[in-house]
Structure 1
Amino acid sequence: MRYLEKNEIKTIQLGILDYIDEICKKNNISYFLSYGTMLGAVRHKGMIPWDDDIDISLYREDYERLLKAIEEDQHPIYQVLSYDTSSWYFHNFAAILDTSTVIEDNVKYKRHDTSLFIDVFPIDQFSDLSIVDKSYKYVALRQLAYIKKERAVHGDSKLKDFLRLCTWYPLRLVNPRYFYKKIDQLVKNSVTENPTYEGAVGVGKEKMKEVFPAGTFKELILTEFEGRMMPIPKNYDAFLTQMYGDYMTPPSKEMQEWYSHSIKAHRKIEK
């Protein structure tokens, strides 16, 4: 078995992106490069050299249409991974997999081999900012439920450790899907006719940093990305500045190494 080189992994991920782009064009679905992928497009005209992720985002309606279109397409290798399609995937955003590949001992999906992927994030619109805090409470409960017992015990106080374990034990009995379905219900029930805000709720670590004025992602432009033209928001500067600050200045070599994910993947061996 031979592990894939970084340039091979990149080619495979771009293949997933090209497939998504084709499906979106065929079904009149709007999407855009997001997070570090948007930053890479603006600063490097491609993937960030020390990063090996590709992320895209879509408004909720288009997000659900994209997942349905890919499932109906029944492609031999490109498949949807979500909490609806998997018994072990517990995130409230989806991934599109290249199932001809295997990532072993993936940090993201502990105890499960998975495939090379692109993350797909839903953008929701809302007016009540309290749903952001509420959603992250569900995220925290889910994370607490699936940490090891030793990590739930901090050793700072017997009483505090006892109370943590009193919370931890019952949570172990709850299906993780419950927490993410609650987040999805929360944002869907918060939709208003004239929303004030939009963003990916309960999917990242930045909370309010990922909340933007409604319409921030509505108008798209095409920009160069790895030799192809890909959509990003016309208002990309607002997103990148809020998320990354002085985004046109690359991080130090030390931080580049810290950001590097170093995926270990290989082609699936057919039995």
Structure 2
Amino acid sequence: MKLSFNYKDILNELARSDKNARSMTDEEHEALKDCLYNMSVDIEKRCRKNGIRLFLVGGSLLGAVRHGGFIPWDDDMDFGMKRSDYEKMKKIFDKEFSDMYELRCPNSPHPNANRFMQIFKKGTVLRTIGEDNPLQPSSVYIDVFPYDYVPEGRYLRKFRGLKANAEMFIASCVMDEKTMSEKKRAYLSKSKDGKLFIRIRRIIGTVFAFRSPEKWFDRVDKTIFYRKKSALVTSATGRKHYFGEIYPTKTFFPLTEISFREHSFFAPADHRKYLEGLYGSDYMKVPDVQHRESHFITEIKL
């Protein structure tokens, strides 16, 4: 069964009906990108100091390759960490980063409401339409995805991948059931597919609500953490989930470096292969305006 409604369109519709929501001005957009860049440089330098390698992935890596920095209409930063660095980051965060930042991450002392690590900058405010999770700070943040080894055996790999994807779906359904606003439910329910989307997620969210969404995200993190070294890695919590982001380990490691604005960040060893897998062979082509993401805000303070 395939649901045909566009979730982005639903959020845009929400924004258009909310008198407090608006698009960012050009000045605000540039200020946000500057804030994200300076934040990322500072965090990356602190990571290097502690022997942790934070590397560019997703749209941030694409921006570095295609534009030398941010994708012009983008306003976030995506990073990856090898699992060993990811676990070390949890342990040292309070000592090395908590003066300026807050952490949200599964299986850590810090409360989590997502399947991967997010680092928020204290003293900032960023409220966007569609992000109504009360467990997350309403602050400027970067995303950090763990990169885990993948079993080389086909059957074990399939089992772990299916288990991880199922747990992620359950966790998101339980989170929606606990936190989704009635306004968002109402707009999702305006279409036939949207109603089905809500109905399915409410059923799953209710059935599995015996465990909190935070605990479900902890389970996801434990499932994807494969301790045996192998020739394959995945970003199981990324945009294409477990099976969609499996690459040869040599695609990423050992890491290389790439310029993003004036700073040199770590990056996957073969960024071409990675970007082709994520965005297709024409990843260097700038998409048409209608295919570019837009975000609507209700409050911003940098």
Given the two structures, how large is their TM-score scaled by the length of structure 2?
A: 0.75
Deviations 1:151-191 (A, max 9, x none): 79x989xxxx9998764433233211222222222223x33
| Paired residue type of 1:204 | R
The CA distance in 2 between the partners of 1:162 and 1:234, in whole Å, is 43
1:68-217 pair list within 5 angstroms:
68-83=91-106, 84-87=108-111, 89-105=112-128, 107-111=130-134, 114-127=138-151, 128-130=156-158, 131-147=160-176, 167-188=204-225, 190-193=226-229, 195-217=230-252
Asked if the contact 1:132/1:202 (under 8 Å) is kept, the reply is no
CA distance in 1, matches of 2:192, 2:296: 34
Residue in structure 2 matching 1:222, options 249, 257, 265: 257
Greater mean deviation of Cα atoms: 42-51 or 109-118:
109-118
Q: Which runs of 5+ in 2 are unaligned?
A: 1-23
CA RMSD of aligned residues (A): 3.0
- The C-alpha deviation readout for 1:57-116, integer Å capped at 9, x for no partner, is 0101111222333321254322222243554x3212111111110122553353465110
Which of 247, 253, 264 pairs up with 2:289? 253
State the distance in 2 between where 1:21 and 1:52 align.
18
2:78 maps to which residue?
55
One-letter amino acid of the counterpart of residue 129, structure 1: R
Secondary structure class of the residue paired with 2:122: strand
Q: Structure 2: how far apart are the matches of 1:77 and 1:165?
A: 37
For residue 192 of structure 1, report the CA deviation from its aligned partner.
Answer: 1.9
Which of 41, 45, 61 in structure 2 is aligned with 1:38?
61
CA contact (8 A) 2:173 2:202 kept: no
CA pair 230-147 structure 1, distance change in 2 beyond 3 A: closer
User: How far apart are the structure 2 equivalents of 1:163 and 1:32?
Assistant: 36
Q: Which moved more, 1:166-175 or 1:230-239?
A: 166-175
d(CA) in 1 for partners of 2:84, 2:129? 30
Unpaired segments of 5 or more residues in structure 1?
Answer: none
CA distance in 2, matches of 1:62, 1:78: 18
Task: Give distance in 1, aligned partners of 2:113 and 2:89.
Answer: 19
Between the aligned partners of 2:58 and 2:37, the Cα distance in structure 1 is 16
Shift of 1:49: 0.5
Matched position secondary structure for 1:104:
strand
Q: Decide whether the 8 Å contact of 1:104 with 1:113 is kept in 2.
A: no
Partners in 2 of 1:163 and 1:100 — Cα distance? 38
Of the candidates 264, 269, 274, which is equivalent to residue 234 of structure 1? 269
Percent identity (aligned): 25
User: Does the residue aligned with 2:286 lie in a helix, a strand or coil?
Assistant: coil
SS at match of 2:139: strand
When normalised by structure 1's length, the TM-score is 0.82
Residues matched between the structures, number? 257
